[in-house]
């Protein structure tokens, strides 16, 4: 098969690494890709939302399958674009259609779906510019902290958690009336604050059947001890040690099954990954959010634990016979630590040469924000590289990641030294 992966992060390098291991993968393209995907696939410099350019590429190289990494093309309807085009409709697309991708594209849509299908989640109400005074009144009925979410896609920045009522009202006003997050905050969901520990559950579905992949925990804040600004993710661990078998059974019965049944009942066409952000409140799981793709850097610990041939798995999804597949998971733990550019998630410099990669023996470097330039690998983004290791325990795996990192260098390198700190 000839396969195209859309995206350029550590997630997409991990997809490429895994797909390239399959004897069924004859030719692999990544658009736009990075320095990691360049080593195992052919990078093509096309934007993931330029559907016409993607169409031309698919026709030119007779691509059989497109694996969509990030959310934007899905929310914009890339799967529907393929289905509605006579020359593209036989190409397998891994990722939900537009109507289902709204589970990530609109927080209000996701909350309505959760409530309609009786899936445990925080109580909420949503507001717009016309009924903002009702929003203020709703905030007054809540106890702090206050959770405000921009309805639309806001590159992971659209959620505010505030301790002070007046501050919450001011932010609500700035979101609804002053377009704090642009069009994404034309509507705002105000939610009950859930107190607990977060984890993520990953599900593959062909729209009829589902398979649950390993859990993972992501570390979102820039600073050690979960302090400072939110990032795209600074590290991840799989499996999640506190997700016991009985807890995971609740996740499947109360959340995964009703989610897939809900997709079927609501006629939301879905062939791809569902990433369910959970919070464990006491011993019960509640849904914080749906994403309609894999997480990054969660992919860098989940896929390395998957023993199945990924091309066969994707083919089974596209042909709606996921029920025929048995998922086979490596029992070892996997951890990843993200190397980031100094200053990230605020302003940072690019173009720094990365050295030491040739010394890596005990880990895998999944490239994220790095590119090949004049034969050298240089930084090109905030999140530069995810260093993944296996171990019999997550403690052993994380130790290996840090031993590998000690041999890597670029100017102003930064990373969290405490991934997993809250799990002992
Ligand atoms: P989201 O973009 O919906 O994942 O929200 C970003 C982050 O905000 C989550 O990862 C949580 O840490 C936090 N968060 C979101 N909703 C809630 C909630 N209802 N209660 C507590 N924390 C929340
Ligand atoms: N690591 C969180 C995300 O991919 O959204």
CATH number of the domain within which 27 lies: 3.40.50.20
- Radius of gyration from C-alpha coordinates of the chain: 21
Tens digits of residue pLDDT in 337-360: 999 999 999 999 999 999 999 999
Closest C-alpha among 2, 13, 1 to residue 370: 13
Residues 8 and 89 in one domain: yes
Residue nearest atom 4 of ligand 1, based on CA coordinates: 289
Residue nearest atom 7 of ligand 1, based on CA coordinates: 159
| pLDDT above 70 coverage of the chain, percent | 100
Q: Which ligand is nearest to the CA of 114?
A: 1
Model confidence at 420, pLDDT cuts 50, 70, 90, reads very high
Atom of ligand 2 nearest to the CA of 220: 1
Residues 138 and 81 in one domain: no
Atom of ligand 1 nearest to the CA of 195: 21
Our answer on whether the CB atom of 262 is closer than 6 Å to any ligand 1 atom is no
Residues 59 and 93 in one domain: yes
Model confidence at 91, pLDDT cuts 50, 70, 90, reads very high
**176 vs 1 pLDDT, higher one:** 1
Atom of ligand 1 nearest to the CA of 196: 21
The answer to whether residue 183 is domain-embedded is yes
The whole-chain average pLDDT of the chain stands at 95
Mean pLDDT of the 84-109 span:
96
Model confidence at 316, pLDDT cuts 50, 70, 90, reads very high
- Identify the domain boundary among 134, 169, 191: 191
The pLDDT of residue 186: 84
Residues 77 and 34 in one domain: yes
Residues 92 and 127 in one domain: no
**125 vs 335 pLDDT, higher one:** 335
Backbone angles phi, psi at 390, to 5 degrees: -105, 160
**27 vs 167 pLDDT, higher one:** 27
The pLDDT of residue 172: 87
Q: Which ligand is nearest to the CA of 301?
A: 2
284 by Cβ neighbours in 10 Å (0-12 / 13-18 / 19+) ranks as: middle
Residue nearest atom 5 of ligand 2, based on CA coordinates: 295
Our answer on whether the CB atom of 298 is closer than 6 Å to any ligand 2 atom is yes
Residues 17 and 94 in one domain: yes
- Identify the domain boundary among 191, 209, 232: 191
CB 37 within 8 A of CB 43: yes
Instruction: Tell me which residue range forms the domain holding 31.
Output: 2-98
The pLDDT of residue 185: 80
The answer to whether residue 93 is domain-embedded is yes
**318 vs 175 pLDDT, higher one:** 318
CB 160 within 8 A of CB 189: no
Alpha carbon of 266 to those of 124, 196, 263, 270, 317: distances in Å? 21, 30, 5, 11, 19
The answer to whether residue 196 is domain-embedded is no
The answer to whether residue 332 is domain-embedded is no
Tens digits of residue pLDDT in 281-312: 999 999 999 999 999 999 999 999 999 999 99
The answer to whether residue 378 is domain-embedded is no
Residues 182 and 140 in one domain: yes
The pLDDT of residue 1: 96
Q: By three-state DSSP, how is residue 250 classified?
A: helix
Residue nearest atom 2 of ligand 2, based on CA coordinates: 295
The pLDDT of residue 131: 87
The answer to whether residue 343 is domain-embedded is no
Atom of ligand 2 nearest to the CA of 218: 1
Residues 69 and 144 in one domain: no
Residues 55 and 129 in one domain: no
Residues 94 and 138 in one domain: no
Residues 92 and 163 in one domain: no
**Contacts by 158-161 with C-beta closer than 8 Å and gap 24+?**
158/107, 158/184, 158/185, 161/193
Residues 72 and 37 in one domain: yes
The pLDDT of residue 313: 98
Q: Which ligand is nearest to the CA of 295?
A: 2
Q: Which ligand is nearest to the CA of 158?
A: 1
Q: Is the pLDDT of residue 155 over 90?
A: no
The answer to whether residue 50 is domain-embedded is yes
- Looking up residue 141, the CATH number of its domain turns out to be 3.30.1490.20
Q: 155 CA distance to ligand 1 centroid (A)?
A: 14
The pLDDT of residue 96: 98
The pLDDT of residue 102: 97
- Identify the domain boundary among 149, 170, 191: 191
For 150-164, 183-197, 254-268, 363-377, which range has the lowest pLDDT when averaged over its residues? 150-164
CB 332 within 8 A of CB 391: yes
Mean pLDDT of the 236-258 span:
97
Our answer on whether the CB atom of 218 is closer than 6 Å to any ligand 2 atom is yes
Mutate to test the pocket of ligand 1, among 123, 220, 279, 293 (most ligand atoms within 8 A of CB): 279
- Number of separate domains in the chain: 2
The answer to whether residue 388 is domain-embedded is no
Q: 193 CA distance to ligand 2 centroid (A)?
A: 20
């Amino acid at each position: 098969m000839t396969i195209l992966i859309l995206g350029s992060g550590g997630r997409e390098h991990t997809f490429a690494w895994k797909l390239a291991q399959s004897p069924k993968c004859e030719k692999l393209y990544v658009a736009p890709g990075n320095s990691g995907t360049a080593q195992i696939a052919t990078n093509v410099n096309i934007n993931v939302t330029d559907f016409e350019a993607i169409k031309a590429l698919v026709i030119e190289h007779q691509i059989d399958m497109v694996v969509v990494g990030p959310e934007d093309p899905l929310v914009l309807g890339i799967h529907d674009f393929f289905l509605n085009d006579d020359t593209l409709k036989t190409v397998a697309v891994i990722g939900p259609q537009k109507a289902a991708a709204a589970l990530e594209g609109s927080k209000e849509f996701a909350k309505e779906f959760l409530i309609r299908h009786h899936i445990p989640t925080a109580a909420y109400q949503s507001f717009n510019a016309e009924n903002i005074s009702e929003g203020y009144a709703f905030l007054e009925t809540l106890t702090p902290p206050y959770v405000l979410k921009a309805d639309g896609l806001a590159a992971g920045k659209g959620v505010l958690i505030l301790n002070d009522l007046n501050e919450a009202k001011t932010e609500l006003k700035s979101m609804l009336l002053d377009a704090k997050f642009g069009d994404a905050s034309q509507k705002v969901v105000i939610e009950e604050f859930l107190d607990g520990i977060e984890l993520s559950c990953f599900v593959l579905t062909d729209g009829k059947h589902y398979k649950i992949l390993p859990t993972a925990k992501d570390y979102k804040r820039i600073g050690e001890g979960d302090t400072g600004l939110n990032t795209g993710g600074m590290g991840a661990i799989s499996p999640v040690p506190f997700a016991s078998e009985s807890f995971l059974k609740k996740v499947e019965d109360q959340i995964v099954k009703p989610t897939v049944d809900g997709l079927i009942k609501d006629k939301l066409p879905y062939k791809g990954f569902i990433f369910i952000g959970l919070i464990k409140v006491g011993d019960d799981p509640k849904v914080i959010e749906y994403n309609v793709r894999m997480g990054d850097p969660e992919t860098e610990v989940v896929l390395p634990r998957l023993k199945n041939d990924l091309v066969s798995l994707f083919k089974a999804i596209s042909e709606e016979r996921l029920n025929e597949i048995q998922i086979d998971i490596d029992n070892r733990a996997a951890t990843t630590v993200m190397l980031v550019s100094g200053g990230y998630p605020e302003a940072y410099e690019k173009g720094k040469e990365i050295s030491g990669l040739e010394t890596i023996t005990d880990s895998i470097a999944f490239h994220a924000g790095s590119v090949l330039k004049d034969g050298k690998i240089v930084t090109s983004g905030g999140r530069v590289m995810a260093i993944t290791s296996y171990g019999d325990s997550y403690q052993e795996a994380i130790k290996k990641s840090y031993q590998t990192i000690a041999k890597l260098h670029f100017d102003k390198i930064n990373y969290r030294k405490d991934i997993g700190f809250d799990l002992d």
